[in-house]
Chain A
Amino acid sequence: MDDDEGGAAAPFPSTSRWTLVKKALLWFPVVFVMGVLIYCYYAYIVTFCGKLHATVCTSLIL
């Protein structure tokens, strides 16, 4: 059965809403990969920038 078909056999009263939810769920893996990337980016940059900052500050003080 097509997703946009209505009628009694429809799994939810509003099929178009269900289609929207399904479409949104299909994007979840993409969002997950992006989330992991953003986290790694944050962890990596913050750490190395933090270390860099500390090194630069130390060298300036000394």
Chain B
Amino acid sequence: MYISDPLAVILIHGDPSHKTRGALYIVAFNIFMLLFLWAFWKTVLSDAGRPSEYPNLVLTHPAEPGVIEAPEPFERDGKTWLPSAYARYCVTCRYPKPDRAHHCSMCKRCVLKMDHHCIWLNNCVGMKNYKFFILTLVYGFLLVLFVDITIFQQLLYDAINSQLIWNDLQLLIALVLSFSLGMAAFALLVYHIYLVLRNQTTIEALEASERKDEQRRLKAFRRREGREMSPRPDPQFNPYDQGSALVNIESAIGSNRWLWPVPILDETLGTGLWFPRKKEDSTAIV
């Protein structure tokens, strides 16, 4: 059979049933699978972090909320005084709610630096398991990519050589299932890489998007009335963006780079109670 495509030549003539190649596939597959399972179960079983872990929290707030950069937290009279953009309090947990913490209605508790509640993990993704979540997506995507490429290669080889057997149907089902999960993992991974680079959580990104929509509606309303809208601050302003992608990555998954690919909590990550904020550019006209 004449094949003109060089890729097809590699795929077809590289017989995946060769014992060395097969053994390598199985070893690589098991490594990817173990890394994925490790990260996945760490995310499922880890507590994302809750404010009540820190007793005697007192929230203070600067004179001009959201504008003046808050000082670092300090301890006095056995209490932790926590500067916050706004002195927030969770009425359900009856406990102070630090910046970036939110109450999860599914978990029924406040979560530090809450990103979102993931139904696929049956857990909240927050301060202390965000890194595991990212690694779950990374290893999940790599696993699926590896599985799909090798299965496709096998199926193509068997089809060309008329060697399709019952096992190949199982492979086809595995290919479809893993491809579906892999695409979802890939889309989520790309979005979360974008968020990590901006030091933003999913909730904050959604809130910014809502603010933008609200401002757009208000602008349209004013235009219909024939009035100009007064200058307003940027609705997508992110006070936690440190300006450097590397610093933003370190504040999301820790500064110890040796631990980045490993699903182990980096102690340099901090408590999740306080985050440095930059000044809002109040002169920005949107």
Chain A residues proximal to chain B, CB less than 8 Å:
26-27, 29-30, 33, 36-37, 39-52, 54-56, 59
B168 contacts across to A, CB distance below 8 A: 47
Q: Which of A30, A40, A41, A47 is the one whose CB lies under 8 Å from B44?
A: A30
Main secondary structure of the interface of A (DSSP, over half): helix
Are the CB atoms of B17 and A40 closer together than 8 Å?
no
Chain B residues proximal to chain A, CB less than 8 Å:
16-19, 22-23, 25-26, 29, 33, 36-37, 40, 44, 106, 119-122, 147, 150-151, 154, 167-168, 170-171, 173-174, 177-178, 181
B119 contacts across to A, CB distance below 8 A: 26, 29
Q: Which of B17, B40, B173 is the one whose CB lies under 8 Å from A51?
A: B17
A61 to nearest B CB, angstroms? 14
Complex Cα gap A36–B179 (Å) = 11
A32 to nearest B CB, angstroms? 8
Are the CB atoms of B170 and A46 closer together than 8 Å?
yes
Complex Cα gap A56–B22 (Å) = 11
A-B contact count (CB 8 A): 74
A49 contacts across to B, CB distance below 8 A: 22, 26
The 9 A-B residue pairs whose C-beta atoms are closest, nearest first, are A43-B174, A51-B17, A43-B170, A52-B22, A40-B174, A47-B167, A55-B19, A29-B120, A48-B22
A50 contacts across to B, CB distance below 8 A: 167
A39 to nearest B CB, angstroms? 6
B44 to nearest A CB, angstroms? 6
Are the CB atoms of A39 and B177 closer together than 8 Å?
yes
Complex Cα gap A49–B27 (Å) = 11
Are the CB atoms of B26 and A43 closer together than 8 Å?
no
Q: Which of A26, A45, A56 is the one whose CB lies under 8 Å from B122?
A: A26
Complex Cα gap A47–B151 (Å) = 10
Known A36-B181, A41-B33, A46-B167; judge A30-B120 contact (CB<8 A): yes
> Closest chain A residue to B44 by CB distance?
A30
- Listed by A's residue number, 7 A-B pairs whose Cβ atoms lie within 8 Å are A26-B119, A30-B44, A30-B120, A33-B120, A37-B36, A44-B147, A49-B22
B87 to nearest A CB, angstroms? 27
Are the CB atoms of A56 and B19 closer together than 8 Å?
yes
B177 contacts across to A, CB distance below 8 A: 36, 39-40
Are the CB atoms of A51 and B22 closer together than 8 Å?
yes
Known A37-B33, A41-B33; judge A29-B22 contact (CB<8 A): no
Q: Which of B36, B122, B154, B173 is the one whose CB lies under 8 Å from A30?
A: B122
Complex Cα gap A46–B154 (Å) = 13
Are the CB atoms of A36 and B22 closer together than 8 Å?
no
Are the CB atoms of A48 and B26 closer together than 8 Å?
yes
> Closest chain B residue to A46 by CB distance?
B167
Complex Cα gap A42–B29 (Å) = 12
A27 to nearest B CB, angstroms? 6
Q: Which of B22, B25, B29, B121 is the one whose CB lies under 8 Å from A55?
A: B22
Known A44-B29, A44-B147; judge A51-B16 contact (CB<8 A): yes
Q: Which of B16, B23, B40, B171 is the one whose CB lies under 8 Å from A43?
A: B171
